[in-house]
């Protein structure tokens, strides 16, 4: 075995080798910055858009067709417009500075931020750690996910449990969207948009690595747990497309909210197919 020289007290601890000192930012000649820039633009747009929308406190529910935007679901305050509080108003009145979507938004945001796919996307595009392979990062030292704000990444499995409950709420909202103005069965363009969004959210949630671990991560004998093995197999197949579901569901949430906002504001009428 060949011994190598080390420097005590280096970045990796006592006896660890220091990082390679490369003067150039990168020796790459391709347009490596394009993909991180696109992802950063998408993430920043969603952050700004969703923040503005949850504080608008209007145009989030269409009473005639029971359309409720996912950004406000569940709506549990007395300030919710009539019909939007599908689960009642157990929290009474909210102060003016608390958005009506305060229950779901922190959970969904935490679930996405700590998601393995978004961690990769966020580290490269927003945190620039590193922005791309073989490209020098701007941070002088590396502390991992042990300090604010990055230690929150370790809470992903807990965000998953609550996000699964929010998914059930979204499914219930989608079921209610199949009601017409007279209370009977009905289908409109908004119904289909909400349904597509729920399918995308379900794909994203169920394809999560934490979900896969819950299904069979600790099993020692699949043969003794055939039902969980089937669920684990199903989730494993979805897990391959986790990044796709993550990005697609981001756009479906925005589009669903835009459509419900437009109909609720009276910009145009919902296209009805049945009732």
Average pLDDT over all residues of the chain? 86
> How many C-alpha atoms does 83 have within 13 Å on its Cβ side?
16
Structure tokens at 88: 């009642």
27-38: average pLDDT: 83
Answer yes or no: is 247 within a domain. Answer: yes
- Supply the pTM of this predicted model: 0.83
Give pLDDT, residue 19.
Answer: 55
pLDDT band with cut points at 50, 70 and 90 for residue 7? very low
Cα separation of 46 and 38, whole Å?
Answer: 13
Cα separation of 261 and 100, whole Å?
Answer: 15
Give pLDDT, residue 10.
Answer: 46
pLDDT band with cut points at 50, 70 and 90 for residue 118? confident
Answer yes or no: is 6 within a domain. Answer: no
pLDDT band with cut points at 50, 70 and 90 for residue 14? low
Answer yes or no: is 7 within a domain. Answer: no
Answer yes or no: is 4 within a domain. Answer: no
Phi, psi dihedral angles at 179 (to 5 degrees): -105, 140
Answer yes or no: is 2 within a domain. Answer: no
Of residues 88 and 128, more confidence is placed in 88
Tell whether the model's pLDDT for residue 254 goes beyond 70: yes
CA dihedral 18, 36, 201, 225 (to 10 degrees): -30
- What range defines the domain where residue 162 resides? 34-139+146-274
Question: Which of 111-115, 137-141, 163-167, 207-211 reaches the highest mean pLDDT?
Answer: 163-167
Answer yes or no: is 55 within a domain. Answer: yes
Give pLDDT, residue 33.
Answer: 82
54-69: average pLDDT: 95
Of residues 218 and 24, more confidence is placed in 218
The answer to whether 226 and 27 are in contact (CB under 8 A) is no
Tell whether the model's pLDDT for residue 155 goes beyond 80: yes
82-103: average pLDDT: 90
Residues of the chain with pLDDT > 70, as a percent, come to 91
pLDDT band with cut points at 50, 70 and 90 for residue 17? low
Could you tell me which of 45, 9, 200, 204 has the C-alpha nearest to residue 115? 204
Query: In sequence order, what DSSP letters do the residues of 215-265 get, joined into one string?
Result: HHTT-S-GGG-HHHHHHHHHHHHHHTTHHHHHHHHHHHHHHHHHHHHHHHH
Answer yes or no: is 3 within a domain. Answer: no
> What total number of domains does the chain contain?
1
Answer yes or no: is 25 within a domain. Answer: no
2-22: average pLDDT: 50
Give pLDDT, residue 18.
Answer: 58
Could you tell me which of 136, 126, 128, 124 has the C-alpha nearest to residue 26? 136
Cα separation of 115 and 160, whole Å?
Answer: 9
């Amino acid at each position: 075995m060949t011994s190598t020289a080390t420097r005590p007290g280096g970045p990796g601890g006592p006896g660890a080798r220091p990082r390679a000192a490369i003067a150039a930012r990168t020796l790459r000649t391709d347009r490596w910055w394009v993909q991180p820039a696109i992802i950063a633009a998408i993430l920043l747009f969603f952050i700004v858009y969703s923040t503005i929308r949850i504080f608008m406190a209007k145009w989030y529910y269409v009473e005639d067709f029971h359309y409720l935007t996912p950004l406000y679901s569940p709506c549990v305050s007395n300030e919710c417009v009539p019909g939007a509080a599908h689960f009642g108003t157990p929290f009474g009145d909210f102060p003016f500075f608390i958005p009506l979507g305060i229950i779901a938004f922190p959970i969904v945001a935490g679930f996405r931020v700590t998601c393995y796919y978004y961690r990769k996307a966020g580290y490269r595009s927003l945190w620039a750690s590193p922005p791309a392979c073989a490209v020098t990062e701007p941070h002088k030292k590396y502390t991992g996910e042990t300090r604010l704000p990055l230690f929150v990444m370790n809470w992903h499995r807990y965000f998953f449990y609550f996000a699964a409950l929010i998914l059930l709420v979204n499914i219930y909202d989608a079921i209610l969207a199949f009601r017409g103005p007279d209370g009977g069965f009905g289908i409109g363009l908004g119904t289909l948009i909400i349904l597509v969004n729920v399918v995308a959210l379900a794909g994203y949630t169920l394809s999560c690595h934490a979900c896969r671990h819950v299904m069979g991560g600790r099993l020692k004998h699949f043969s003794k747990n055939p039902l969980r093995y089937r669920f684990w197999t199903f989730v494993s197949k979805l897990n391959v497309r986790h990044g796709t579901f993550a990005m697609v569901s981001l756009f479906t949430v925005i589009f669903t909210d835009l459509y419900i906002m437009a109909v609720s504001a009276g910009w145009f009428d919902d296209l009805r197919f049945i009732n």
